[in-house]
């Protein structure tokens, strides 16, 4: 048997074994706390006709709007501050302080400001993605090789040309590193916001099912969130690989 086939067989065996053990322990002992895979599957099938898509859409909308505001503003501020030495050195201790603060813990403030709808979740995703992109772009803009700028200046490049030819391309890798973090973090932030107070979304489904000890529903949401998280991670990684395909990878560079 080929190596790949052996791995596939082993993976299926692990998955099947796990699901069978779970199912049997629920059937023969007690399914109150552990539920069973079949119950969870039925719950998901039920939801598929009734509202699950809506909750997923709410969570995804919060992520999308938050990212659409936070990412560009973070990049712009990072580029500007990274190329402005005086404001940057004045603000440095504040930036360092901000970087060490657990921002998602500020969600209660946002709820106090924006109420119970989608707005505080969008604000939280915006804040988190803004900060991630800002810190990365700022670091990237400051790390631009000073020799390049000096050479461009010598050739008579304007500030605008320097920016377009040296600063922006040099920051791209940093920006994508930030973006790759921001995507999964947006899902985390939206979920946290929904778990605090909400009327819709996957985080709301988690808290509402755990509040009534509906374990089957709770596991079902976790399955959905797991698939969504895996999809978001795959998207983040493959889009980085695609957009930075011109860059030699570490193994090629060796």
Partner 1 sequence: MTTHWIAIWFGRALILAGFLAAWQLASGTLIPKMFVSDPISIIETIALWIADGSLWNHLATTLVTLLLGYGLGAALGIAAGFALGLAPFADRTLAPFIAAFYGLPKVALLPLFVIFLGIGIESKVALVAVVVAFLLFYNTRAGVRDVDPDLINSLRLMGATQAEILRKVFVPVTLPWIYTGLRVAVGYALTSTVVGEVLSSNRGLGFLIESSAGRFNSAGVFAAVAVLVALSLLITATLTRMEVSSSRWRM
Binding residues (CB under 8 A) for partner 1: these are: 6-7, 10-11, 14-15, 33, 89-91, 93-94, 96-97, 100-109, 111-113, 184, 187-188, 191-192, 195-196, 202-203, 206-207, 210, 213, 215, 218, 221-222, 225-233
CB atoms within 10 A of CB 229: 15
Q: Least distance in Å: CB of 37 to partner 1?
A: 14
Whichever of 34 and 173 has its CB closer to partner 1, that residue is 34
DSSP state of 212: T
CA 6 from centroid of its chain's CA atoms? 33
Whichever of 179 and 202 has its CB closer to partner 1, that residue is 202
**Cα 110 from Cα 50, distance rounded (Å):** 30
Whichever of 10 and 151 has its CB closer to partner 1, that residue is 10
Q: Least distance in Å: CB of 137 to partner 1?
A: 19
The length of the chain in residues reads: 254
Whichever of 10 and 24 has its CB closer to partner 1, that residue is 10
- Name the phi and psi angles at 244, rounded to 5: -105, 30
**Cα 24 from Cα 113, distance rounded (Å):** 49
Read off the tokens for 189. 């932030």
Whichever of 64 and 157 has its CB closer to partner 1, that residue is 64
Q: Least distance in Å: CB of 238 to partner 1?
A: 14
Task: Give the closest residue to 58 by CA, choosing from 253, 194, 246.
Answer: 194
* Nearby residues of 73 by Cβ (< 8 Å), 6 or more positions away: 130
**Cα 158 from Cα 174, distance rounded (Å):** 24
Q: Least distance in Å: CB of 8 to partner 1?
A: 9
Q: Least distance in Å: CB of 184 to partner 1?
A: 7
């Amino acid at each position: 048997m080929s190596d790949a086939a052996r791995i596939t067989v082993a993976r299926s065996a692990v998955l099947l074994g796990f699901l069978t053990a779970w199912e049997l322990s629920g059937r023969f002992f007690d399914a109150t706390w552990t539920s069973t895979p079949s119950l969870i599957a039925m719950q998901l099938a039920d939801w598929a006709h009734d509202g699950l898509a809506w909750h997923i859409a709410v969570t995804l909308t919060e992520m999308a709007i938050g990212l659409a505001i936070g990412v560009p503003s973070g990049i712009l501020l990072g580029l500007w501050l990274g190329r402005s030495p005086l404001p940057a050195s004045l603000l440095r201790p504040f930036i360092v302080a901000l970087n060490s603060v657990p921002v998602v813990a500020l969600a209660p403030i946002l709820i106090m400001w924006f109420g119970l709808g989608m707005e505080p979740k969008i604000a939280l995703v915006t804040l988190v993605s803004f900060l991630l992109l800002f810190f990365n772009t700022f670091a990237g803009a400051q790390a631009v090789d000073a020799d390049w700028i000096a050479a461009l200046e010598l050739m008579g490049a304007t500030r605008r040309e320097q920016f377009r030819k040296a600063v922006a391309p040099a920051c791209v890798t940093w920006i994508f590193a930030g973006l790759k973090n921001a995507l999964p973090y947006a899902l985390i932030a939206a979920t946290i916001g929904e778990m605090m107070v909400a009327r819709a979304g996957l985080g709301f489904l988690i808290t509402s099912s755990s509040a009534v000890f509906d374990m089957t529903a709770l596991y079902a949401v976790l399955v959905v969130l797991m698939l969504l998280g895996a999809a978001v991670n795959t998207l983040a990684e493959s889009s980085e690989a695609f957009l930075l395909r011109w860059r030699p990878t570490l193994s090629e560079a060796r």
